[in-house]
Structure 1
Amino acid sequence: MKAAESLERELRVAARSLGRRGLAHAYGHCSVRLDERHFLVCAPRPMALIAPGESGQVVRIDGPLPEGVLGEVRLHQQLYRRRPHVQAVARTMPPSLMALGTARRIPKARHGMGAYFGAGAALWDDPQLVRDDALAAEVIDAMGDLNAIVMRGNGVVVAAESLPQVVSLTWFLEDAARLELAVLSAGLEPESAVLAASERERRATATGGIFERMWEYLCAGDPELQ
């Protein structure tokens, strides 16, 4: 099965954006659903270094990973298998989320960008790599219906309805973690407001070009968008 050229290009742009914006380094991967049986994962390289035109690999949602596909891509498989509305997944290592995760903490919804995660992301309290199907299923079970799960000392998995959304949401969650660390380091936690459920619901809007503008910002300068 061959993915459409435009979708291959969008996946490469998403991968490079995650890497170039400091949300992933040598490790991490992103993917996009092709149909009910397949998804496309980016090349198994540092995402910022994926070259224009470099192909990803098609993976079956049910079945063993193809040779050469990174082991933790099982997390993507489990999400696509269990949640039909999920169209894109990113597995990254954002630094502020990594720091909070070591303390078994997730960022609270203190500002608008944090509102997109409800009361917060899920937490997986294990720093080990997820390289078998049973463990991948446990992680996604722990994620539940949320759109992100922070893995203690091991980054984050974010799921969304498109590649622009998954890249934007990854940046939003890292910004929420940055703010959380700033609030904690300043000793302002008792005074810092956390958004109520009604405030989160109103603020977490997709209208007005929210995701489109963030996608444009994060992808600026990409060699395949010149």
Structure 2
Amino acid sequence: MSQHDHAPTARQQSLVRAAARALARANLVHAYGHCSLRLDADRFLVCAAKPMGMIGPHEAGTVVPVNGELPEGVLGEVRIHQHIYRLRPEVGAVIRSMPRDVMTLSSARVTPAPRHGMGSYFSPAVPLWDDPQLIRTDEQAAGVAAKLGAAAAVVMRGNGAVVAAASIEQAVVLNWYLEDAARIELQLRAAGLADGPTLSPDEAARRATGAGRIFERMWEYLCDGDPEFADVI
């Protein structure tokens, strides 16, 4: 089958662009960060290699093999996406982000505990990749993917986060939830309330729901005003 037969659809391209810009509008990325959407078992679509908020309509992403060398021009840390897609066939999207409060906590080797509803999606804990170096080798990328395990997110010490989800819409929303959990954690610690309660695994499992258009409503909120809003809602 030819490369053309595997080409992403117009909607898939729009989804990746809209996700990139939504993350930028929410201050979850800046000059650095990238997002991808699984196309099939063998390849995925990653956003253009530029600041995500500057990705314009109709600016195509790049198709990357799940196994194999990164195509020319693709950012080195996209290796993380490759290794997560290899390990977790249920994952449909991966986002590498740089959330401010997540970054602050991680610099002290702390990740947000499940203390409120939006933190429940990361119960029982957000794993920490305890290395501040950029991920530029397959060995490092495999380590990050292994540390993520079956979790929704992994935080890298002083170096942002990686979120994996069934869809790119959910991945964007979970990035927002992760930063909100970090905000709560940081504020409680600043107020001397770090010993306060966390959600039990049972409480978190019941709260971490997808019912009631939970993900869809936040996705719509984060995409509001996007130039391709009509194509992705």
Shorter-chain TM band: over 0.9
Task: Find the aligned partners of 2:100 and 2:194 in 1 and give their Cα distance.
Answer: 21
Read off the aligned partner of 1:83 and give its amino acid letter: R
**Cα distance in 2, alignment partners of residues 219 and 120 from structure 1:** 28
Task: Return 5+ residue gaps in structure 1 as ranges.
Answer: none
- 1:15 alignment counterpart: 20
Paired residue for 1:180? Answer: 185
TM-superposed CA distance for 1:7, in Å, is 0.7
Distance of 2:169 and 2:149 partners within structure 1 = 22
Is residue 199 of structure 2 the alignment partner of residue 195 of structure 1?
yes
Q: Encode CA deviations 1:72-93: one digit per residue, 9 max, x unaligned.
A: 0000000111110000000000
Partner of 2:46: 41
Paired residue total: 225
- Cα deviations by residue, 1:22-58 (Å, 9 ceiling, x for unpaired): 0000000000000011000000010011001100000
Corresponding residue for residue 136 of structure 1:
141
Residues 1:111 and 2:98 aligned together: no
- Structure 1 stretch 138-147 or stretch 175-184: which is displaced more? 138-147
Separation of aligned partners in 1, 2:114 and 2:32: 27
* Aligned counterpart, 2:211: 207
Q: Which residue of 1 aligns with 2:229?
A: 225
Q: CA deviation at 1:138?
A: 1.1
Q: Distance in 2 between matches of 1:30 and 1:208?
A: 26
Aligned twin of 1:145: 150
Does residue 122 of structure 2 align to residue 155 of structure 1?
A: no
Q: 2: distance between equivalents of 1:139 and 1:225?
A: 33
Match of 2:131 among 122, 126, 131: 126
2:78 maps to 1:84: no
Deviation of residue 64 (structure 1)?
0.5
Native 8 Å contact 1:114 1:120 kept in 2: no
Unaligned runs of 5+ in 2: none
| Alpha-carbon displacement from aligned partner over 1:135-176 (angstroms, at most 9, x marks no partner) | 110111111111110000000000000011000000000000
- Residue of structure 1 aligned with 2:60, choices 44, 55, 60: 55
In the aligned structure 1, how far is the partner of 2:194 from the partner of 2:41?
44
User: What letter is aligned with 1:142?
Assistant: K
State the TM-score, normalizing by the size of structure 2.
0.95
Percent identity reads 56
Match of 2:32 in 1: 27
**Over residues 111-147 of structure 1, what are the superposed CA-to-partner deviations in whole Å (9 max), with x where a residue is unaligned?**
0000001112110000000011111101111111111
| 1:89-108 matched pairs, under 5 angstroms | 89-108=94-113
Q: TM-score with structure 1 length normalisation?
A: 0.98
The answer (yes or no) to whether the contact 1:121–1:146 under 8 Å persists in 2 is yes
Match for residue 8 of structure 2 among 3, 18, 41:
3
Amino acid at match of 2:126: A
Q: Which amino acid aligns with 1:26?
A: A
